[in-house]
Amino acid sequence: MENMNKRYLQLNDRIRIMKIKDIAIIFILLLFAAVISCQVVTGQQLQRRGIITPGSLWLDNNRNTIQAHGGGIILVGSTYYWFGEDRAQGLDPLYKYVGCYSSEDLVHWTFLSKIKFAAPKGFDPHHWVLERPKVYYNRKTKKYVMYFHLDDARYKAAEIGIAVSNDVDSGYQFVKHFRPFGMESRDIGQFIDDDGTAYLIFESRPTHGFVIARLSDDYMSVEKKMCLVKEPLEGGALVHYKGLYYVIGSHLTGWNPNSNVYATAKKVSGPWSPFKNMAPSETNTYGSQSTMLLKVTGTKKATVIYMGDIWKPAAQWDSRYLWMPLKIGKGKLWLPKPEPWEINIKTGFVKFANK
Ligand code: GAL
């Protein structure tokens, strides 16, 4: 009897210890989940306070992740429009979609539409590529003209596609596709100079460089080759800041990040200075690839924002955006270490949330 009692007590003890262990494990797991959810919430909470957190989830007004990868931005009146590749899950694979959003402050984005394109004639509808869409608004014709990199799945066609619409977010009609000046064209970039002249940047692999080309008055064609920047780069972007042109681009490593570089010139047509790193090389541009340089000209200051993509090749829908105000001037351009920041769109001043 005594033995049985002992065993019973021992069993009881063991159960108690197991319970304590279980509770401890559950507690640690809960703590871990809380820490993680806090981090997720923080990026979104900051967004609600008007702060951009580079690399964090960025939600639109419907609380969906913004789908505008490899994107471009235009300012029409006081509204910014952001276009880019919509790589959301569950889209009809027979179409390509361009995400279109609007904002008054560059932080809060209203979803406008998924602009849907079918493969142009001659392209396999199951295996074609529409990348890096860029939309220009032509004030004379009052039309929105969209350029994109059009390709087959093996990236051999290397063309540009153009679509046009009377409205910013719908009704785009496919117009034509071609190789500009007969040259292969892959990644494209968009640049509108202070005098309103519109340029397209396109990477042309066989020439080991990228071309800066002026668009025609109606933006419907690539009219004049301004220069060939002799450096094998893609993700090309350009900005005009205090009398100098700054061009940036990434090396040719596909979806993998590398150390993006910049050069300067007094004229769009060059000559361009040698290229230099725009961030510590070991950071690989903090895991991002350039897509655009956006200049916000405020009443007090012009701020240049680096727009980069943090690609996730195996989960493209979850690719992130790395936007940061650049240190720029006197021929130098530098991407500071990413941290939360905010911009006053009116004055152009930037504040860092942690300072
Ligand atoms: C990158 C390019 C992207 C996409 C990708 C495909 O180099 O910048 O836009 O084309 O290659 O591998």
Q: For tokens 């993509």, what's the residue?
A: 309
Q: Residue 221: which of 296, 161, 270 has the closest Cα?
A: 161
Evaluate: CB of 193 within 6 angstroms of ligand 1.
no
Q: What is the pLDDT of residue 36?
A: 52
Least confident of 28-37, 129-138, 223-232, 299-308: 28-37
pLDDT digits (tens, 9 = 90+) for 31-56: 666 555 555 557 888 988 899 999 99
Whether 141 shows a pLDDT value over 70: the answer reads yes
Domain range 59-352, its CATH number among 1.10.287.3510, 3.40.50.1980, 2.115.10.20, 3.40.190.10 = 2.115.10.20
Give the pLDDT band of residue 228 (cuts 50, 70, 90). very high
Average pLDDT of the chain is: 93
Q: What is the pLDDT of residue 352?
A: 96
Range among 5-9, 44-48, 197-201 with highest mean pLDDT value: 197-201
pLDDT digits (tens, 9 = 90+) for 168-184: 999 999 999 999 999 99
Q: What is the pLDDT of residue 33?
A: 62
Evaluate: CB of 184 within 6 angstroms of ligand 1.
no
Whether 15 shows a pLDDT value over 90: the answer reads no
**How far apart are alpha carbons 295 and 308 in whole angstroms?**
14
Task: Report CA(256)–ligand 1 centroid distance (Å).
Answer: 9
Which of 85, 128, 131, 285 to probe ligand 1 with, by most ligand atoms within 8 A of CB?
131
Evaluate: CB of 235 within 6 angstroms of ligand 1.
yes
Determine which residue's CA is closest to atom 6 belonging to ligand 1: 254
**How far apart are alpha carbons 56 and 44 in whole angstroms?**
8
Domain boundaries, the chain: 1-48, 59-352
Task: Report CA(236)–ligand 1 centroid distance (Å).
Answer: 12
Q: Residue 308: which of 247, 200, 259, 235 has the closest Cα?
A: 235
Q: What is the pLDDT of residue 119?
A: 97
Q: Are 191 and 202 in contact (CB under 8 A)?
A: no
Q: What is the pLDDT of residue 262?
A: 98
Q: What is the pLDDT of residue 5?
A: 64
Evaluate: CB of 257 within 6 angstroms of ligand 1.
no
Q: What is the pLDDT of residue 18?
A: 62
